Copies of this chain bind each other. A is one copy, B any other.
Amino acid sequence: MSETLEALQRRLGHRFADPALLRAALTHRSFGADHNERLEFLGDAVLGLAVSSLLYERLGRSDEGDLSRVRAHLVRQESLYRIALALQLPDSVRLSEGEARSGGARRPSILADALEALVGAVYLDAGFESAQAVVRRLFEPVLAQGDLQASAKDPKTELQEWLQARRLPVPAYAIVETRGQAHRQEFVVRCTVAALQVERVGEGASRRAAEQQAAQAMLAHLKSMHP
Protein backbone atom coordinates (compact mmCIF):
# COMPACT_ATOMS: atom_id res chain seq x y z
CA MET A 1 0.00 0.00 0.00
CA SER A 2 1.24 3.47 -0.87
CA GLU A 3 2.54 5.87 1.75
CA THR A 4 -0.39 8.21 0.95
CA LEU A 5 -2.95 5.52 1.80
CA GLU A 6 -1.06 4.54 4.96
CA ALA A 7 -1.16 8.16 6.08
CA LEU A 8 -4.84 8.46 5.24
CA GLN A 9 -5.65 5.43 7.39
CA ARG A 10 -3.75 6.98 10.28
CA ARG A 11 -5.72 10.22 9.95
CA LEU A 12 -8.95 8.25 9.69
CA GLY A 13 -8.07 6.17 12.75
CA HIS A 14 -8.98 2.95 10.99
CA ARG A 15 -6.74 0.34 9.43
CA PHE A 16 -8.56 -1.60 6.70
CA ALA A 17 -8.57 -5.40 6.91
CA ASP A 18 -9.68 -5.30 3.28
CA PRO A 19 -7.68 -2.60 1.45
CA ALA A 20 -9.80 -3.12 -1.70
CA LEU A 21 -12.65 -1.37 0.16
CA LEU A 22 -10.44 1.62 0.85
CA ARG A 23 -9.41 1.85 -2.80
CA ALA A 24 -13.00 1.53 -4.04
CA ALA A 25 -14.13 4.30 -1.66
CA LEU A 26 -11.56 6.66 -3.18
CA THR A 27 -12.47 5.87 -6.78
CA HIS A 28 -14.64 8.33 -8.68
CA ARG A 29 -16.90 6.88 -11.37
CA SER A 30 -14.87 8.66 -14.04
CA PHE A 31 -11.90 6.42 -13.15
CA GLY A 32 -13.34 2.98 -13.66
CA ALA A 33 -15.94 0.34 -13.01
CA ASP A 34 -15.10 -0.35 -9.38
CA HIS A 35 -16.15 3.13 -8.25
CA ASN A 36 -17.54 4.48 -5.00
CA GLU A 37 -21.22 5.22 -5.70
CA ARG A 38 -22.67 2.17 -3.97
CA LEU A 39 -20.37 2.72 -0.99
CA GLU A 40 -21.53 6.32 -0.91
CA PHE A 41 -25.16 5.15 -0.73
CA LEU A 42 -24.29 2.99 2.28
CA GLY A 43 -21.98 5.56 3.87
CA ASP A 44 -24.65 8.25 3.72
CA ALA A 45 -26.85 6.06 5.94
CA VAL A 46 -23.97 5.14 8.29
CA LEU A 47 -23.12 8.81 8.67
CA GLY A 48 -26.80 9.63 9.24
CA LEU A 49 -27.07 7.21 12.14
CA ALA A 50 -23.67 8.02 13.65
CA VAL A 51 -24.45 11.75 13.67
CA SER A 52 -28.05 11.26 14.85
CA SER A 53 -26.87 9.11 17.70
CA LEU A 54 -24.27 11.68 18.71
CA LEU A 55 -26.82 14.50 18.67
CA TYR A 56 -29.39 12.44 20.56
CA GLU A 57 -26.82 12.05 23.37
CA ARG A 58 -25.43 15.55 23.39
CA LEU A 59 -28.58 17.58 22.81
CA GLY A 60 -30.67 15.94 25.49
CA ARG A 61 -33.17 18.76 25.63
CA SER A 62 -33.65 19.51 21.95
CA ASP A 63 -36.82 18.51 20.21
CA GLU A 64 -37.01 16.53 17.00
CA GLY A 65 -37.13 19.64 14.79
CA ASP A 66 -33.92 21.06 16.27
CA LEU A 67 -32.16 17.70 16.09
CA SER A 68 -33.09 17.37 12.41
CA ARG A 69 -31.87 20.85 11.64
CA VAL A 70 -28.52 20.34 13.39
CA ARG A 71 -28.09 16.99 11.64
CA ALA A 72 -28.81 18.54 8.24
CA HIS A 73 -26.19 21.19 8.99
CA LEU A 74 -23.56 18.61 9.96
CA VAL A 75 -24.02 16.27 7.02
CA ARG A 76 -24.45 18.85 4.28
CA GLN A 77 -21.93 18.92 1.48
CA GLU A 78 -20.08 21.96 2.77
CA SER A 79 -19.36 20.33 6.16
CA LEU A 80 -18.29 17.06 4.56
CA TYR A 81 -16.07 18.94 2.11
CA ARG A 82 -14.19 20.62 4.97
CA ILE A 83 -13.65 17.30 6.71
CA ALA A 84 -12.46 15.77 3.43
CA LEU A 85 -9.90 18.57 3.07
CA ALA A 86 -8.69 18.01 6.64
CA LEU A 87 -8.22 14.33 5.73
CA GLN A 88 -6.26 15.42 2.64
CA LEU A 89 -8.56 13.44 0.38
CA PRO A 90 -7.58 15.49 -2.71
CA ASP A 91 -4.24 13.59 -2.61
CA SER A 92 -5.97 10.20 -2.60
CA VAL A 93 -9.06 10.32 -4.81
CA ARG A 94 -8.76 8.52 -8.12
CA LEU A 95 -10.25 10.36 -11.10
CA SER A 96 -10.08 10.14 -14.87
CA GLU A 97 -7.40 12.34 -16.44
CA GLY A 98 -10.08 14.69 -17.73
CA GLU A 99 -11.68 15.11 -14.31
CA ALA A 100 -8.29 15.57 -12.67
CA ARG A 101 -7.25 18.24 -15.19
CA SER A 102 -10.43 20.22 -14.63
CA GLY A 103 -9.79 20.32 -10.86
CA GLY A 104 -12.04 17.41 -9.87
CA ALA A 105 -9.82 16.45 -6.95
CA ARG A 106 -10.83 19.63 -5.15
CA ARG A 107 -14.50 19.69 -6.18
CA PRO A 108 -16.75 19.75 -3.09
CA SER A 109 -19.24 17.20 -4.45
CA ILE A 110 -16.53 14.67 -5.39
CA LEU A 111 -14.78 15.03 -2.03
CA ALA A 112 -17.98 14.88 0.03
CA ASP A 113 -19.05 11.74 -1.85
CA ALA A 114 -15.64 10.13 -1.28
CA LEU A 115 -15.88 10.89 2.42
CA GLU A 116 -19.31 9.23 2.64
CA ALA A 117 -17.95 6.27 0.69
CA LEU A 118 -15.03 5.98 3.14
CA VAL A 119 -17.44 5.84 6.06
CA GLY A 120 -19.43 3.15 4.24
CA ALA A 121 -16.21 1.22 3.59
CA VAL A 122 -15.26 1.30 7.28
CA TYR A 123 -18.73 -0.03 8.12
CA LEU A 124 -18.33 -2.97 5.73
CA ASP A 125 -14.78 -3.56 6.90
CA ALA A 126 -15.40 -3.58 10.63
CA GLY A 127 -19.05 -2.93 11.54
CA PHE A 128 -21.10 -0.04 12.84
CA GLU A 129 -19.20 0.55 16.09
CA SER A 130 -15.94 1.13 14.20
CA ALA A 131 -17.61 3.39 11.65
CA GLN A 132 -19.23 5.37 14.45
CA ALA A 133 -15.87 5.83 16.16
CA VAL A 134 -14.40 7.17 12.90
CA VAL A 135 -17.33 9.55 12.40
CA ARG A 136 -17.04 10.86 15.96
CA ARG A 137 -13.33 11.50 15.51
CA LEU A 138 -13.87 13.28 12.17
CA PHE A 139 -16.70 15.45 13.43
CA GLU A 140 -15.09 16.37 16.75
CA PRO A 141 -13.56 19.62 15.41
CA VAL A 142 -16.91 20.63 13.90
CA LEU A 143 -18.76 19.79 17.11
CA ALA A 144 -16.22 21.69 19.18
CA GLN A 145 -16.98 24.93 17.32
CA GLY A 146 -19.15 26.25 20.11
CA ASP A 147 -22.83 25.92 20.38
CA LEU A 148 -24.18 23.15 18.19
CA GLN A 149 -27.69 24.52 18.21
CA ALA A 150 -26.71 28.01 17.19
CA SER A 151 -24.60 26.55 14.39
CA ALA A 152 -27.69 25.17 12.73
CA LYS A 153 -29.44 28.22 11.41
CA ASP A 154 -32.88 27.90 10.03
CA PRO A 155 -33.08 28.42 6.25
CA LYS A 156 -34.71 31.88 6.44
CA THR A 157 -31.90 33.18 8.64
CA GLU A 158 -29.27 31.55 6.48
CA LEU A 159 -30.78 32.98 3.30
CA GLN A 160 -30.90 36.46 4.79
CA GLU A 161 -27.25 36.23 5.80
CA TRP A 162 -26.25 34.85 2.42
CA LEU A 163 -27.88 37.86 0.73
CA GLN A 164 -26.48 40.37 3.21
CA ALA A 165 -22.96 39.02 2.68
CA ARG A 166 -23.44 39.93 -0.99
CA ARG A 167 -24.99 43.32 -0.18
CA LEU A 168 -28.32 42.28 -1.64
CA PRO A 169 -31.71 43.27 -0.20
CA VAL A 170 -33.69 40.85 1.97
CA PRO A 171 -36.06 38.37 0.29
CA ALA A 172 -39.83 38.85 0.17
CA TYR A 173 -42.30 36.15 1.24
CA ALA A 174 -45.93 36.02 0.12
CA ILE A 175 -48.70 33.49 0.57
CA VAL A 176 -49.71 32.18 -2.84
CA GLU A 177 -52.40 29.78 -1.76
CA THR A 178 -54.06 28.19 1.25
CA ARG A 179 -55.56 24.79 0.75
CA GLY A 180 -57.45 22.15 2.70
CA GLN A 181 -59.87 22.22 5.57
CA ALA A 182 -59.30 23.84 8.92
CA HIS A 183 -57.44 20.93 10.61
CA ARG A 184 -55.31 20.12 7.67
CA GLN A 185 -54.45 23.40 6.09
CA GLU A 186 -51.60 23.63 3.68
CA PHE A 187 -49.85 26.88 2.86
CA VAL A 188 -48.00 27.69 -0.32
CA VAL A 189 -45.54 30.55 0.00
CA ARG A 190 -43.42 32.26 -2.62
CA CYS A 191 -39.96 33.56 -1.77
CA THR A 192 -38.69 36.25 -4.13
CA VAL A 193 -35.18 37.64 -4.43
CA ALA A 194 -35.98 40.53 -6.73
CA ALA A 195 -32.37 41.60 -7.24
CA LEU A 196 -31.55 38.22 -8.79
CA GLN A 197 -34.94 37.75 -10.43
CA VAL A 198 -35.46 34.37 -8.77
CA GLU A 199 -38.57 32.93 -7.18
CA ARG A 200 -39.07 29.68 -5.31
CA VAL A 201 -42.15 28.23 -3.68
CA GLY A 202 -42.49 26.16 -0.53
CA GLU A 203 -45.35 24.27 1.07
CA GLY A 204 -46.09 23.44 4.67
CA ALA A 205 -48.68 22.91 7.33
CA SER A 206 -48.04 26.43 8.65
CA ARG A 207 -47.06 29.72 7.07
CA ARG A 208 -43.72 29.56 8.84
CA ALA A 209 -43.01 26.00 7.66
CA ALA A 210 -43.87 26.98 4.07
CA GLU A 211 -41.58 30.03 4.28
CA GLN A 212 -38.73 27.90 5.61
CA GLN A 213 -39.19 25.42 2.79
CA ALA A 214 -39.23 28.22 0.19
CA ALA A 215 -36.09 29.73 1.74
CA GLN A 216 -34.42 26.31 1.65
CA ALA A 217 -35.22 25.88 -2.04
CA MET A 218 -33.98 29.41 -2.75
CA LEU A 219 -30.72 28.78 -0.90
CA ALA A 220 -30.12 25.52 -2.73
CA HIS A 221 -30.65 27.30 -6.03
CA LEU A 222 -28.48 30.32 -5.19
CA LYS A 223 -25.65 28.14 -3.91
CA SER A 224 -25.71 25.99 -7.03
CA MET A 225 -25.61 29.07 -9.28
CA HIS A 226 -23.13 31.07 -7.18
CA PRO A 227 -20.93 28.50 -5.43
Please tell me if A17 contacts chain B, counting CB pairs below 8 Å.
Answer: no
Pairwise interchain contact A41-B67, C-beta atoms closer than 8 A: yes
Query: What residues of B have a CB within 8 angstroms of the CB of A46 in the complex?
Result: 49
A42 contacts the other chain (CB 8 A):
yes
Q: How far is the CA of A180 from the CA of B129 in the complex (A)?
A: 43
Q: Cβ of B45 and Cβ of A63 under 8 Å apart?
A: no
Is A224 engaged at the interface, CB distance under 8 Å to the other chain? yes
Asked whether, in the complex, the Cβ of A56 is within 8 Å of the Cβ of B38, the reply is yes
Identical copies of this chain, number: 2
Complex alpha-carbon distance, A186 and B217, angstroms? 13
Number of interface residues of A (CB under 8 A): 31
Q: Are A41 and B53 in contact (CB under 8 A)?
A: no
What is the bound-complex CA distance between A52 and B123, given in angstroms? 12
| Beta-carbon nearest neighbor of A60 in chain B | B38
- Chain B residues lying within 8 Å of A67, measured Cβ to Cβ, are 38, 41
Per-residue CB contact flags for chain A residues 215-226 toward chain B (1 = under 8 Å, else 0) read: 000000100110
Assess whether A58 is interfacial by the CB under 8 Å rule: no
A68 within 8 A of B: yes
A201 within 8 A of B: yes
A37 touches which one: B38, B63, B221 (CB < 8 A)?
Answer: B63
Instruction: Let me know if A42 and B37 touch, CB within 8 A.
Output: no
CB distance B41 to A68 under 8 Å?
yes
